[in-house]
Amino acid sequence: MGKTIKRSVKIVATASGATRRSLRLHAGKLTPMVAKSVDIVSSIKCRGLQVSSSNKVKKMSLSRAFETRYEAKGYTTLIGVDEAGRGPLAGPVVVAACHVPINVTIAGIDDSKKILEPQREKLFELLTNHPSVTYAVHVNSAQRIDEINILQATLESMTKSVNEVAERLQQTDKTFVLVDGNKLPTTLELPAEAVVKGDSKVFSIAAASIIAKVTRDRLMREYDKQYPQYGLAQHKGYPTNAHVTAIAKHGACAIHRMTFAPLKAKEVPKAKSLKKRVT
């Protein structure tokens, strides 16, 4: 992409394994000097229902009872939405929107925070490779967060990821969106409900939470290779003592959120790496 900062990049993966692998490869190489926001979209068309339960993951899954209420009201398509990375000092906020048909069961789906990393990785693969699952991910960078604030960046990503899933499902008149938290994007055109602690109550939101969390963790591990002095692979950008100490020692880099305390303090220097352009 050269030295030009692109504001938006879209990566689309279809059902082919090669393309999905390409998606993950590209996602791992994203840097803030290349893109301010990124859509990582996967649309997997239904080729018949398959239940995946043989993998060694947590066997219990959230009930679909919450979602069946909306089916009873005539909605045939439910999209769950969740984010990862609102609280860190560094890195992007990542939002996933996910549709899993009610009659599809994937063992182990729960709030991503309740699942160990190895299990999350396995569930991520189950979800993103399942022939009946449609999902989209939108990534908003630290720069975008600083421009419009973390809440607006999150809501913006929610709208974009939901719109992508709805467009690919082509059933917008019978679609309902369930969003984790207590706020809905004002730009969302579909009927929706905010569900407090939805990632521990609603199957589709929990599925989205896993996709968002694993996507962000993978990005942060790649950023750790670029900025090894901060230990990003360990804390994923959250304000741990080790991270704050590293910022005090090395200054802030290109993926730090400069509007977040303590980074917004004027005495925090910027690391030399911030001046470098990634080509």
Q: Provide the strand spans (E) within the chain.
A: 6-13, 35-43, 77-84, 93-99, 134-140, 175-180, 192-195
Distance, in Å, from the CA atom of 145 to the CA atom of 107, rounded to the nearest integer, reads: 35
Angle, vertex CA 125, rays to CA 254 and CA 135, nearest 5: 75
Least confident of 46-50, 158-162, 199-203, 267-271: 46-50
Q: Are residues 130 and 175 in the same domain?
A: yes
Neighbouring residues of 273: CB distance < 8 A, sequence distance ≥ 6: 226, 227, 253, 254
Same domain, 153 and 264: no
Binding-site members are 82-83, 180
- Whether residue 56 is contained in a domain is answered as yes
Residue 19 has pLDDT above 50, yes or no: no
Distance CA 118, CA 82 (A): 20
* Boundaries of domain holding 252: 228-275
Same domain assignment for residues 125 and 43? yes
How far, in Å, CA of 247 to CA of 64, rounded?
Answer: 44
User: What does the pLDDT read at residue 271?
Assistant: 65
Q: How far apart are CA 31 and CA 16, in angstroms?
A: 25
- Position 8 scores a pLDDT of 31
As annotated, the binding site for a divalent metal cation includes 82-83, 180
What pLDDT was estimated at residue 266? 58
Domain count, the chain: 2
| Cα 278 to Cα 1, 103, 147, 208, 224, distances in angstroms | 9, 46, 21, 31, 15
Statement to judge: residues 237 and 132 lie in one domain:
no
Is 2 inside any structural domain?
A: no
CATH number of 80's domain: 3.30.420.10
What letter represents residue 5's amino acid? Answer: I
Q: Give per-residue pLDDT as tens, 21-64.
A: 333 333 333 433 334 566 555 433 332 223 333 344 445 789 99
d(Cα 202, Cα 64) in Å, to the nearest integer?
7
Average per-residue pLDDT for the chain: 81
